[in-house]
A and B are shown apart, each in its own frame.
Chain A
Amino acid sequence: MSSRRVVVVDDHDMFRAGVRSEIGASVDIVGEGSDVDTAVKAIVGTEPDVVLLDVHLPGGGGTEVMKQVHQRHPDIKFLALSVSDAAEDVIGVIRAGARGYVTKNISGTELVDAINRVAEGDAVFSPRLAGFVLDAFSGAIDIASVDEDLDRLSQREREVLRLIARGYAYKEVARELFISVKTVETHVSSVLRKLQLSNRHELTRWATDRRLV
């Protein structure tokens, strides 16, 4: 397998250098960006497989980068990376088009794993993101006003997400549920699609709701 071409976008030089030294041997880092403008320029210029994208970025945040790049290159995939676990940030960046979300304290091998998975078109959920999604899709909803398919998780998808939230890797989820890893990936991708397209009130107002509790 040829190594993936990756652009690293983060406003902290130290962090970019750290990522480079940690995963530079396993992937091909073709460009870097430190704010929205330089990031868009680097991405458009190199057309990488995957962009490692910081959620907080000068110039409008990671969502702005995705907005600008997706107009011209809808096929470039983004993996969001953040120190903030705030729900509004996580859900926001996924809904803007990221294929996955991991926290910055992820280990090097796990990060390479996640990059490969995103490059292949699958979704990457951290346990915390799985928890957020379960929370957002829980509870009763007004049946009449929803698109059943998009606004509700299937039983199987819930089971997969619960295992991910419990700290299971995809392989372990597959073994636990007696299904193939490929099926697990299908379920997670389907959840990602719902997360991005659903009009569930909870997804747009999730953070605000939580603040009011």
Chain B
Amino acid sequence: MSQPAAAPPGGTSSNGGQPEPTPGQTQDQWRYKGWGPQGPAGQYQGPYAAYAARMGAQAGSGPGQSYLPPGQPASARQPTDAPRRAYRRTEGRVVAGVAGGIADHLGVSDTVVRLVLIATTVSGGFGILIYAALWFLMPLAPETVPAAPGLAAHTRSGLRSDEPAPPVAEAKQRKREKSRGQLPALVAIGAGLLILLQVAGLGIAGKLFWPLVFAATGLALIWRQADESQKDKWARDVRVPILGLVLGKGGWKSLVRIGVGLVLIGTAVTLFLVQNGRLSMVGDVLIALLLAVVGIGVIAGPWVHRLTRDLNSERAERVRSQERADMAAHLHDSVLQTLALIQKQADDPKAVARLARSQERELRSWLYDEEHDADQTIAGAAKQAAAEVEDSHGVPIEVVTVGDCDLTEPLASMVRAARESMVNAAKHSGAAKIDVFVEVDGDRVEMFVRDRGKGFDVDEVPDDRLGLRHSVMGRMERHGGRATVRSDPETGTEVRLEMDR
């Protein structure tokens, strides 16, 4: 229960779009250090050395000290100098998500927070006051719809014509089912506690008891409804009409909820008056109450309306500027650094091409790829291997994959064999480009590594040339696969690896 809140997606994008310098990213970043001016220990000494050192320090500090403390909602990701906010949970909550929010904020178990709240409620009633106050003060954790930033941006600016529907229905369904089961449990627990208190004589004086119960229940219903509509507002970033502010997307259900709440409060007032022997005043008081509510509504309506509108537009603007900031941070961390390095290496065309290619790949995967599972599927692993070879040898490698499957141990060896073939092609063939094709068809997995280089005589490869014999052929045979090599001076070399999974 203490983990889910860490999962809600961040303010703008969640799937790799966050520019936080996570350890892996920073190491990638400084993969280029070999080409910059070097210190004694191979440490990058260029104009960005200070920056590199800072990044390095963060990379070494481990996940516990990264920007994002565990358990904190992703939406709270901000530079360290900004104050950290506590948010009420939208998922895994019991009443309004206050206890869960506190637990996430403090990094403790939510059970502990709930027990403390219950204990303070029972002994004196402070707990429930604190809860109500925090319910009022703590904002809901915001939600977002994730998408690859490049595609999302193209769609937004009309550069693309179509728009696939995001698959969100399932999650909504699940949430609804959960909250349906919670309500009876909540009522039962509340009733039990009250009865216990009353029996023990700790409770409220007899006369006030029922009016207070009714009033509290009515208020809770209305508050919770207001909460739901706020949640809807997070989900759809649109202007909400004044009535929508109260009703949200709930339709007649929310009307019923508010109605029941009002009736309960009315009952509380009536009961109070009846018990105090002033039955004749009930009608007058209720009418006066109604008039007061209507009057306040008429007076405050336009003002509230304008306030809501301003708030909405300001919020939309803030979301936009956050997106811009994320984008800017990413461009700074990757593209600008690479451009700086390229200028420094301008007299070395190979290094420039290598940097540009590596940056292109990184940016492309950030913009368009939605899967980052290099160590889980064979397609991911093959792309990763190709990227590494491309970076270390400076020959562009185009990877095409058809189908995909989980990366088992034998398949991992197959990818290593393919990687070795890529290294061979990059080192010896002299080809300007290498093509890699991975196909998973039923139980059969095939990989092809092809170059149009100068080729070699397969039979003449000396036994001491370990690469091909051991790393490719031997490795494949040990894992029940097969490697065949075809090579001639005209068409270049093609290594074919096959294995049943």
Contact = CB atoms under 8 A, between A and B. Distances in A.
Nearest to A62: B161
Nearest to A88: B164
B157 A58 contact: yes
A166 B435 CA distance: 6
> How many B residues touch the partner, as a band?
20 to 34
Given A162-B437, A166-B437, A211-B167, A127 B400 contact: yes
A58 to B, nearest CB: 6
Nearest to A54: B159
B150 interface: yes
Contacts of A86: 148, 150-151, 368
A167 interface: yes
A85 B368 contact: yes
A69 to B, nearest CB: 15
A105 B433 CA distance: 12
A60 B162 CA distance: 9
A208 B402 contact: no
Contacts of A213: 404
Contact of B158 (A58, A63, A131): A58
B437 A127 contact: yes
Contact of A130 (B148, B164, B165, B400): B400
Given A56-B159, A165-B400, A207-B164, A131 B437 contact: yes
B339 to A, nearest CB: 15
Interface string B145-158: 00010110010011
B84 interface: no
B437 A60 contact: no
B450 interface: yes
B27 to A, nearest CB: 25
A143 interface: no
A134 B439 CA distance: 9
A120 to B, nearest CB: 24
Contacts of A64: 161
A135 B441 CA distance: 10
Interface in B389-440: 398, 400-404, 433, 435, 437, 439
A64 B448 CA distance: 37
* Centre residue among A59, A88, A130, A166 by max chain B CB count within 10 A: A166
B314 interface: no
Given A127-B400, A208-B165, A167 B441 contact: no
B494 interface: yes
B364 interface: yes
A172 interface: yes
B202 to A, nearest CB: 55
Interface in A53-102: 56-61, 63-64, 83-86, 88-89, 92
B494 A166 contact: yes
A211 B159 contact: no
Contact of B437 (A56, A57, A92, A165): A165
Interface in B343-377: 360, 364, 367-368, 370
B491 interface: yes
A9 B164 CA distance: 25
B160 interface: yes
A1 interface: no
B366 to A, nearest CB: 12
B164 A61 contact: no
Given A84-B368, A166-B494, A131 B400 contact: yes
Given A56-B154, A85-B364, A131-B401, A61 B160 contact: yes
A168 to B, nearest CB: 8
Given A60-B158, A162-B439, A165-B437, A128 B400 contact: yes
A135 B403 contact: yes
B159 A167 contact: no
A86 B149 CA distance: 12
A92 B162 contact: yes
Contacts of A212: 167
A138 B402 contact: yes
A181 B131 CA distance: 77
Contacts of A208: 164-165, 167
A208 B148 CA distance: 13
A86 B151 CA distance: 8
A172 B364 CA distance: 30
Contacts of A130: 400
B437 A84 contact: no
Contacts of B154: 56, 84
A83 B151 CA distance: 12
Given A86-B368, A88-B162, A138 B441 contact: yes
B436 to A, nearest CB: 8
A89 B360 CA distance: 19
Nearest to A137: B402
A18 B161 CA distance: 26
Contacts of B159: 11, 56-58, 61
B364 A127 contact: no
A211 B441 CA distance: 20
B435 A167 contact: yes
A168 B450 CA distance: 9
Q: Which 7 residue pairs across A and B have the least CB separation, nearest first?
A: A167-B435, A131-B400, A56-B159, A166-B437, A61-B161, A134-B402, A166-B448
26 contacts: A57-B159, A58-B157, A61-B158, A61-B161, A63-B161, A63-B162, A64-B161, A84-B151, A84-B368, A85-B368, A86-B151, A127-B398, A127-B437, A130-B400, A138-B402, A162-B437, A162-B439, A165-B402, A165-B439, A166-B437, A166-B494, A167-B398, A167-B433, A208-B165, A211-B370, A212-B167
Given A131-B400, A135-B403, A208-B165, 15 more contacts: A56-B154, A56-B160, A59-B158, A63-B161, A85-B364, A88-B164, A89-B160, A92-B161, A162-B437, A166-B435, A166-B437, A166-B448, A166-B494, A167-B398, A168-B450
